A and B are shown apart, each in its own frame.
Chain A
Amino acid sequence: MNARFEYLLRLGDDALILGQQLGLWTGHGPVLEEDIALTNIGLDQIGQARAWLTMAGRAEHAGRDEDALAFHRNPEEFRCAQLCQQANGHFGDTIARQFLFDAYAVPLHAALTKSSDDEIAAIARKSAKESAYHLRHSRVWMVRLGDGTEESHAKVQESLDRLLPYVGDLFVGDDVAEAAAREGWGVNPATLRDAWESELDDMLAESGLHRPEAVPEQIGGRRGIHTEKLSYLLAEMQVLPRTYPDAQW
């Protein structure tokens, strides 16, 4: 097993799938400022995906670049967390998904800035600035929606209830994660869970939302076990490069 390739795919695929989904909000936001914000966050995610996937391609030594990895892999070859595949739904669903992810991305990127690999550390430094901004945005909206009206409170509480069981993938501490930590170029995400939990608790306290009763977590994304949605999402995303395999764009 090529742990480095696997690990970088996880980072890249999370960002790619979130970016792909956030892009769908362009032109459909609840207010112009949020249209711009969601597209901007999506753009950052695509930028991060490109950096991680380019590195993953090099780590694989099979000549694949960012586009080969994004557009010519089948769903079971993707390593994104199931959380990232959850549908955009309404604005509250998207914000809750983003908050749960951002609260993980911030400590992740912070830890990766200490990577023994200069390039990983450099990408992490750039990503850390972005994810800090993303978290500020998603957190402020969790508070607005949680505290706002009865309707918004009920809606975003429901989003949270539905999404929380899917966070497990983010913190999987398997062989790949252990190898990354042992060799010093990555971090074992299992160690990030405490920071994530405390970020969640802070947000809950400020928004008046509550933590739903614990339910078993859905885990599988890092091993290529996905939700039903991923195949549809990739079919749409990959249509042109798959239809015209010889074309350059």
Chain B
Amino acid sequence: MEMDLLQHFDAYVAAEKKIEPKDWMPDAYRKTLVRQISQHAHSEIVGMLPEGNWISRAPSLKRKAILMAKVQDEAGHGLYLYSACETLGVERDDLIADLHSGKAKYSSIFNYPTLTWADMGAIGWLVDGAAIMNQVPLCKCSYGPYARAMVRVCKEESFHQRQGFQIMLTLANGTEEQKAMAQDALNRWWWPSLMMFGPPDDNSPNSAQSMAWNIKRFSNDELRQKFVDLTVPQAELLGLTLPDPDLTWNEETGHYDFGEIDWSEFQRVISGHGPCNKERLETRRNAWDNGAWVREAAQAHAEKRAARRDAAGETAAA
């Protein structure tokens, strides 16, 4: 019986059909999705913090409005990703508890600090750019609710990327100080952005199964290469220098060769020892804990209201 279901499932997915919440699915498929979608949702929520850090200091009212709208979009992404995840039979509050306990992960990139305004440009351009590269294939992912959520996420992300690039362009064409600010941000965000595609293919434990299930479509290294190829000419247009002396065009492969990524840094940050890991998680925990009385009040009010309505109904009936 189980075997039949599994065969049917595999064939269904292989035929590029969408799995919906009420369909039968293997436990491991469900678990993989819960892990991936919740991790993605957590990344959106924690990812609000490094950029939220500059809302109060945005250098013009227009930039302030754009940044607020952008960070608000991230919250919206978190919201519909948590909702997509809930279709797999888990509760948002439990997922959040896993984030706060450190059991669930989020994208390591958000453990780096935002030190200047130029970081708002670099994050939009590079971090959102890398995210799009990772996420566009997910619009065709085999799990329906995730795929549909990603269509909207990707539309907004591509808007964010253009906004980020536009900040960089303004800075790169600005005063000497602004140019230096832009170059410094690029220097700090370039390598962590390349790390966003995950470990190299020969060291990526979850990849093969996710590929078979049509959750993942391209390998980490393929996506990373695509990102580098796309970004190099953009950096040239900005007149900024990518911080990699080994970066060269390879006539033969038709791609850019690039230098060795420091995977020990990746491991360090992922295991909790990046510049802001503790601070980011503490900020999220505080927001949640400080809001407990508000959530309790809303709950209590809803219950009292329902009770009053029932009581009024009974009186009317009598």
Residues of A within 8 A of B (CB): 16, 19-20, 23-24, 26-36, 39-40, 42-43, 46-47, 49-50, 53, 66-67, 70-71, 90-92, 143-145, 147-149, 151-152, 155, 236-237, 239-241, 244, 246-249
Interface residues of A: mostly helix, strand, loop or mixed? helix
B 48-80 binary contact with A (CB < 8 Å = 1; else 0)? 110010011111111111001101100110110
Give the CA-CA distance A29 to B178 in the complex, in Å.
33
Contact A26 B68, beta carbon cutoff 8 Å: yes
Q: Check if A248 sits within 8 Å of B170, measured CB to CB.
A: yes
User: Could you tell me if B72 and A30 are in contact, using CB atoms closer than 8 angstroms?
Assistant: no
Asked whether any CB of chain A lies closer than 8 Å to the CB of B304, the reply is yes
With A28-B287, A237-B57 known as contacts, the answer to whether A50 contacts B294 (CB < 8 A) is no
Contact A152 B174 (CB under 8 A): no
Q: B55, A26: Cβ atoms under 8 Å?
A: yes
Majority SS at the chain B contact face: helix
Evaluate whether A240 and B57 lie within 8 angstroms (CB atoms) in the complex, with A50-B62, A144-B301 already known: yes
Which residues of the partner chain A approach B78 to less than 8 Å between Cβ atoms?
Answer: 32
Contacts A/B (CB < 8 Å), 16 sampled: A26-B72, A29-B291, A30-B291, A30-B292, A39-B72, A46-B61, A47-B65, A91-B290, A144-B298, A145-B301, A147-B301, A148-B297, A151-B297, A237-B57, A247-B174, A249-B174
A26-B74 Cα distance, complex, nearest whole Å: 10
For A248, list chain B residues within 8 Å (CB): 170, 174
Q: List residues of chain B with CB within 8 A of the CB of A71.
A: 59-60
Supposing A20-B56, A249-B170 touch, asked if A240 and B117 sit within 8 A by C-beta, the answer is yes
Whether A27 pairs with B117 at a CB distance below 8 angstroms is no
In the complex, A247→B264 CA distance in Å?
A: 39
CB-based contact B300/A148 at 8 Å: yes
Q: Bound complex: CA of A158 vs CA of B164, how far in Å?
A: 42
What residue in chain A is nearest B288 (Cβ atoms)?
A30
Task: Give bound CA distance, A139 to B232, whole Å.
Answer: 52
A39 to B51, CA, bound (A): 13
State the CA gap A24–B114 with chains docked (Å): 16
